[in-house]
Amino acid sequence: MKFAETSYFFEQKRWYQLLKIKKTEQIQLDYSDTTSLIEPTDIDLKDKKFVTVGLVALDQYGNLAAGTSTGGMTNKKFGRVGDASIIGAGTYANNKTCAVSFTGHGEFFIRSLVAYDVSALMEYKGLSLVDAAHEVVIKKLVTVGGEGGLIAIDTKGNITMPFNSGGTYRGFMKSDGTKDILIYK
Ligand code: ASP
């Protein structure tokens, strides 16, 4: 594949966000700080295409797939490995159960192996996709303080997209044409 110049990935909003969070020596989710969106020199929102993206899919043969791409946490330590690339943490698919992609505070996802946990609750405890996802995102993660949410689809094409944060950009489309796009609850 052709490599892009580093400048290709530059985004004014994220630059402001980084400068701001660096002063506090903390790390932060890219969508936690909405105030950076209203900086005066901010560029047009249509140009914002470099954010965390997760996807899950079920094909006509019953194959499930999940993928996650992220820039990680803002102001993360150099060399940090996030949850997105760790199968079972932020991303997981199993033709017996479901496909899952997470977004949110990755350290908690790695510790609790959350994407695999959703699948395991379905496989070993017989939970539905909706119940398994609710158990992990709304109960387990909230108990340990992990902010975030998931998108998931099961072998029957059921879809769930719970989150324990203020909102998350999400959408779905089914083969019959049913579709939706959402941000808040
Ligand atoms: N999960 C990602 C990470 O911790 C962040 C995100 O979802 O935006 O690296």
Nearest CA to ligand 1 atom 9: 72
Which residue has tokens 């609710």?
Answer: 134
Nearest Cα residue to 29 out of 74, 70, 79, 67: 74
Number of domains the chain contains: 2
- 143 as an active site residue: the answer is no
- Pair (71, 139) in one structural domain: yes
The verdict on the CB of residue 29 being under 6 Å from ligand 1 is yes
Nearest to 109 by CA among 156, 78, 73: 73
Q: What pTM, to 2 d.p., does this model score?
A: 0.84
Q: What is the pLDDT of residues 126-163, one digit of tens each?
A: 999 999 999 999 999 999 999 999 999 999 999 999 99
Question: Quick check: 40 pLDDT over 60?
Answer: no
- In a domain, residue 106? The reply is yes
User: What does the block give as tokens for 39?
Assistant: 């900086």
Ramachandran assignment for 169, one of left (phi > 0), alpha (psi -120 to 50 degrees), beta (any other):
beta
**pLDDT of residue 114 exceeding 80:** yes
| Residue in this structure with the two tokens 């199993």, named with its chain if needed | 94
Q: Are the C-beta atoms of residues 65 and 95 closer than 8 Å to each other?
A: no
Q: Residue 71: give the domain boundaries.
A: 54-182
